[in-house]
């Protein structure tokens, strides 16, 4: 089993500034937004262990929250910057499994401007793609 350690305070200090100006919809209702540090730890857990979102441990925020924020951060480049900063500071973030495959696919697509994105698609696992209902 792959061991994963949550971010240390010094590691969080390197990336904390990326979340200071996170946009939140003004008409948002419901629960308060989950703290980014908890979600970053869950996302890094999924990327590092190679497990899917369905296996994220219960001490992290909800799986849908983690996956949604992963997709937001992936789309706006925040996730790539998190990984870059942590790797530069000596924390090796290894990318494994279906979550890492989704991240790598998006990164490769952003490097190829002729690549046409798959708009309005979501995935439940790497083998199954479906259009939203």
DSSP string, 5-40: -PPPHHHHHHHGGGGTT----TT--SSPPPPHHHHH
Q: What is the dihedral of CA 125, 122, 37, 41, to 10 degrees?
A: 10
User: Which pLDDT band, with edges at 50, 70 and 90, does 118 fall under?
Assistant: very low
**pLDDT surpasses 80 at 41:** yes
Q: What is the dihedral of CA 35, 41, 43, 47, to 10 degrees?
A: 170
* pTM attached to this predicted model: 0.70
All structural domains of the chain with their residue ranges: 36-113
Residues 51-97 pLDDT 10s? 888 899 999 999 999 999 999 998 888 998 999 999 999 988 877 76
């Amino acid at each position: 089993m792959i061991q994963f350690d949550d971010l240390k305070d010094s590691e969080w200090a390197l990336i904390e500034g990326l979340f200071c100006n996170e946009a939140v919809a003004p008409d948002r209702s419901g629960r308060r937004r989950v703290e980014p540090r908890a979600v970053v730890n869950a996302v890094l857990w999924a990327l590092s262990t190679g497990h899917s979102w369905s296996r994220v441990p219960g001490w992290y925020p909800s799986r849908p929250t983690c996956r949604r924020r992963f997709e937001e951060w992936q789309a706006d480049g925040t996730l790539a910057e998190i990984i870059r900063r942590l790797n530069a500071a000596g924390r090796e973030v290894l990318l494994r499994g279906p979550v890492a495959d989704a991240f790598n696919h998006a990164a490769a697509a952003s490097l190829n401007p002729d690549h046409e994105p798959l708009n309005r698609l979501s995935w439940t696992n790497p083998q199954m793609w479906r259009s939203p209902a």
